[in-house]
Structure 1
Amino acid sequence: MRLSALVVARNEEARLPACLATLGFADEIVVVLDRSTDASAEIARAAGAVLLEGGWALEGERRNAGIAACTGDWILEVDADERVPPELGAEIRALIARSSAAFHRVRIDNYVGERLILHGWGGSFGTTLKPILFRRGAKHWRSQRVHPGLDWTGAEGERLTAHGIRHEVDRDISDMLRRLDRYSSAKAADLLDQGDIGTLANNVRRFISRTFKCLIGRKGYKEGGWGLLIALCAGLFPLLSYLKAKLEPERHRP
Structure 2
Amino acid sequence: MVAVFGKPKRKLSLAIITFNEEKNIQACIDSVKSIADEIVILDSLSTDKTKSIAKKNQKVRFFENSFQGHVEQKNLAISYCRHEWVLSLDADERASEELQKSILSFLEKEDVAEDGFQIARLTHHMGRWIYHSGWYPQRRYRLFRKDKAVWVGENPHDFIELKDPTKGGVLKGDILHYSFLDFSHQITTINQFSSIVSYTRYAKGHSFSLFKSILKPIGKFIEIYIMKRGYLDGIPGFYIALASSFSTFLKYAKVYELEKKFIEKPSNMRKDYGEKK
Task: Give the alignment's TM-score, normalised by structure 2.
Answer: 0.82
2:64 to 41, 53, 61: 53
Which SS does the other structure have where 1:250 is aligned? coil
Query: Which residue does 1:78 correspond to in 2?
Result: 89
Q: Shift of residue 144 of structure 1?
A: 4.8
Structure 1 gap segments, 5+ residues each: none
Query: Which residue does 2:176 correspond to in 1?
Result: 166
1:42 to 52, 76, 80: 52
Alpha-carbon contact 2:126-2:236 (below 8 Å) kept = no
Q: Shift of residue 236 of structure 1?
A: 2.9
Q: 2:18 aligned with 1:9, yes or no?
A: yes
Choose 196-205 or 14-23, whichever is displaced more.
Answer: 196-205
Choose 54-63 or 205-214, whichever is displaced more.
Answer: 205-214
Evaluate the alpha carbon distance shift between residue 203 and residue 148 of structure 1 in structure 2; reply closer, same or farther with a 3 A threshold. farther
Q: Deviations over 1:197-243 (max 9, x none)?
A: 34232343332332222212221110122112112222332321111
* Mapping for residues 60-139 of structure 1, pairs under 5 Å: 60-96=71-107, 97=109, 98-121=111-134, 128-139=138-149
Query: Which residue does 1:22 correspond to in 2?
Result: 31
Query: Which residue does 1:196 correspond to in 2?
Result: 206
CA–CA distance in structure 1, aligned partners of residues 123 and 152 of structure 2: 25
2:158 to 148, 152, 163: 148
Q: Deviations over 1:82-122 (max 9, x none)?
A: 11123311201323534312222111110015421111035
Matching residue's letter, 2:143: L
Evaluate the alpha carbon distance shift between residue 149 and residue 109 of structure 1 in structure 2; reply closer, same or farther with a 3 A threshold. closer
Q: Deviations over 1:179-200 (max 9, x none)?
A: 1111111112112211213423
CA–CA distance in structure 1, aligned partners of residues 113 and 208 of structure 2: 41
Task: From the CA coordinates, give the structure whose radius of gyration is larger.
Answer: 2
Evaluate the alpha carbon distance shift between residue 143 and residue 56 of structure 1 in structure 2; reply closer, same or farther with a 3 A threshold. farther
CA–CA distance in structure 2, aligned partners of residues 128 and 172 of structure 1: 21
Alpha-carbon contact 1:111-1:167 (below 8 Å) kept = yes
CA–CA distance in structure 2, aligned partners of residues 129 and 144 of structure 1: 18
Query: Which residue does 2:6 correspond to in 1?
Result: none
**Number of paired residues?**
250
Q: Deviations over 1:152-187 (max 9, x none)?
A: 312353322x42121101111111111111111111
CA–CA distance in structure 2, aligned partners of residues 118 and 89 of structure 1: 21
Choose 33-42 or 93-102, whichever is displaced more.
Answer: 93-102
Q: 2:239 aligned with 1:226, yes or no?
A: no
Q: Shift of residue 247 of structure 1?
A: 2.7
